[in-house]
Amino acid sequence: MKIVMIGGGGACVVCGNTLRILGNKAQIDIYTRRDKTAYTPCEQPFVLRHTLDFDDMFYATPPWFEKKRLGLHLEREVEAIDRDKKVIIVNGEVVPYDILLINTGALPKIPDVPGLTGDRVFTLTTELKHAYTLEAIIPKFRRAAILGGGAIGLEMAETLVKQGYEKVYLIVSSPHIMSRHLDPEMAEKIEPAITGAGIDLRLSTSVTKVEENGNFLSLSLSSGDVIEADFILCAKGVKPNVDLAREAGLKIGVTGGIEVNPYLQTSDPSIYAAGDCMEGWNMLTGKKTLTALATFSNRTGRTVGRNIHFKNTIPFMGSLDTLGTEVFGNTIASVGLTEREAARNDISVITAVRKGMTRKVMFDGKPLWLKLVADKDSQVLKGAQFIGPKEVSRIAERVIILLGEKVSLGKISQYENIFSPPLGMAYEPVTMVSDILISQLLKEGIEVKWA
């Protein structure tokens, strides 16, 4: 059997490795237009602030691919897929396949704004060429405007501050930062740290026009203000790169990603899709969604590898829209639905926001904020949001299982947790806030589901 993979992103590498771990002896070839692969794109902001070097991003080298018997074909552009002949066209060469994996990633979203083009408008994508460009231009300037209040926008704002920038504008069209993953009362707890670092944060604001004005750019804002910057970094999210799949006649889903079945097969059973180009679904609502995260790429890559080997017997679970980032000394972690998203899905919820501690101050404990969102009817968690020190990411990982397995608030309250004074609190935050939600149910005269 011959397996061909297009794209060279994490899903391809993980899929190939999964097949080899399972003992699959098929011929595997990966074709990518990139000149390098097997790196972690999420680390780029930290490379640009010199916390890491570019070399630190790579988790596999050419000898590793050789050892795994994975044919890696760099700088090879796939031009077309001929499904009838079961071949791909690569730089004019015809390459046959029995099974094909499409992992073509995503493209940056650029708002349709007059003047938002040219050699002073940049993006940061999964392709390293954009990071190399930014590495060269960042030292040349001292003023920047970042469009977008998600993780990349925030991380790059901190990067520029650490690089000594005199002025960094963060222009966010939503009323608060990270609107996909945080509710307003949680976002407002982190925003002072952003402005306190010297960031000029403009919420509920968008750019309406960009003009070149000598050596700088002039940005007209929806607020009526005009600001000046040496360059613009657009961090407004991404869209699936599906041109190759669409031209091959594969079905594209409602989100714009490649539609797949539970085994991640496309509308052609011989072709799978994985990673940023694939349309997934939310585990809690069942609704189709797009997830452009490294963990999603890895999970889908493993699922495809297992289904190729075990003949389509392992359904993909979906996504909980999980996100973690560290900005301005604070870790933000979000799992599942925000309160706002729950309302959009007509889920009646109860919520609680509380401040807690990782451990006592005498043991170097740090404060944290936690919000839990639970379904009032089923009494199971639907979402959690954390802000605090690094430890909150580990606490949030516990919540992932609680959400995915639909553990009731009553059962969460009864589970034990690891405790020693230097390690944590005897009454740990998730249990504490779950008990607060239980008390809300009791006050409303609702019988608690303890099992």
Domains in the chain (CATH in brackets) are 2-105+239-310 (3.50.50.60), 110-236 (3.50.50.60), 331-443 (3.30.390.30)
Q: Which candidate, 435, 352, 427, 424, places its Cα nearest to that of 391?
A: 424
Cα separation, 409 vs 412, in Å, equals 5
Please tell me the predicted confidence (pLDDT) of residue 95. 98
Given a cut of 90, whether residue 155 has pLDDT beyond it is yes
pLDDT tens digits, one per residue of 174-189? 999 999 999 999 999 9
Q: How confident is the model at residue 305 (pLDDT cuts 50, 70, 90)?
A: very high
Span 347-358, average pLDDT: 96
Look up residue 203 and give its two tokens: 């919420």
- 71: burial class by Cβ within 10 Å (0-12, 13-18, 19+)? middle
Span 242-248, average pLDDT: 98
SS3 (DSSP) at 158: helix
Distance of CA 136 to the CA centre of its chain: 26
DSSP characters for 28-96?
EEEE-SSS--SB-GGGHHHHHTTSS-GGGGBS--HHHHHHTTEEEETT--EEEEETTTTEEEETTEEEE
Given a cut of 90, whether residue 8 has pLDDT beyond it is no
**What is the Rg, in whole angstroms, of the alpha carbon atoms belonging to the chain?**
23
Parallel, antiparallel, or unpaired: how do β-strands 367-375 and 349-357 relate? antiparallel
Given a cut of 90, whether residue 124 has pLDDT beyond it is yes
Q: How confident is the model at residue 214 (pLDDT cuts 50, 70, 90)?
A: confident
> What angle (nearest 5°) sits at the alpha carbon of residue 279, between those of residues 8 and 374?
120
Span 352-364, average pLDDT: 95
- What pairs with residue 375 in β-bridges? 349
Please tell me the predicted confidence (pLDDT) of residue 375. 98
Please tell me the predicted confidence (pLDDT) of residue 116. 96
Task: Tell me which amino acid residue 440 is.
Answer: Q
Cα separation, 406 vs 330, in Å, equals 29
**12 near 103, Cβ under 8 Å?**
yes
Q: Which candidate, 48, 36, 77, places its Cα nearest to that of 135?
A: 48
Name the percent of the chain lying above pLDDT 90: 99
Cα separation, 428 vs 434, in Å, equals 10
Cα separation, 269 vs 41, in Å, equals 30
pLDDT tens digits, one per residue of 44-61? 999 999 999 999 999 999
Q: How confident is the model at residue 121 (pLDDT cuts 50, 70, 90)?
A: very high
pLDDT tens digits, one per residue of 285-300? 999 999 999 999 999 9
Cα separation, 11 vs 275, in Å, equals 6
> What angle (nearest 5°) sits at the alpha carbon of residue 7, between those of residues 36 and 146?
75
pLDDT tens digits, one per residue of 84-102? 999 999 999 999 999 999 9
Name the percent of the chain lying above pLDDT 70: 100
Give the number of C-alpha atoms closer than 13 A to the C-alpha of residue 28, restricted to the C-beta side.
Answer: 26
- Does residue 23 come out as left (phi exceeding 0), alpha (psi in the -120 to 50 range) or beta? left
